[in-house]
């Protein structure tokens, strides 16, 4: 069964291809994903690698955790399941009164 790993501290230059190429040294990589910021279209500095077996995942952790990848020391560990989050609030005109922007002359 595949095991998903979290890879943090990635260089902004690291691509999914370079991440996959690096982790193939530890075994078969099912997927390699670099998380991209939607606003800047730039890496957020972390990603996920899915190894085909638990043994290969453990080998990848041992090989890469605390090691250099593209000029940065990366943190590699088993990915935790995403926990449900509360909806975001407080954005522009997303609840809350934004009064006080009335006009210039006072009577």
Question: Band of the pLDDT at 89, cuts 50, 70, 90?
Answer: confident
Assigned superfamily of 3-70:
RRM (RNA recognition motif) domain (3.30.70.330)
The residue among 1, 28, 40, 26 whose CA lies nearest residue 76 is 26
Position 101 scores a pLDDT of: 59
Yes or no: say if 16 and 22 are a contact pair by the CB < 8 Å rule. Answer: no
Range with the poorest average pLDDT among 40-44, 56-60, 103-107: 103-107
Q: How many CB atoms lie within 10 A of CB 64?
A: 21
**pTM assigned to the model:** 0.77
């Amino acid at each position: 069964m595949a095991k998903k790993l979290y890879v943090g501290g990635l260089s902004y230059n690291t691509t999914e291809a370079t991440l996959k190429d690096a982790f193939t040294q530890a075994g078969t990589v099912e997927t390699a994903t670099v998380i991209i910021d939607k606003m800047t279209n730039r890496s957020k500095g972390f990603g996920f690698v899915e190894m085909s077996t638990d043994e290969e995942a453990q080998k990848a952790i041992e090989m890469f955790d605390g090691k250099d990848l593209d000029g940065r020391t990366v943190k590699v560990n088993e990915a935790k399941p995403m926990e449900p989050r509360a909806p975001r609030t407080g954005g522009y005109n997303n609840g809350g009164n934004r009064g006080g922007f009335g006009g210039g002359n006072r009577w």
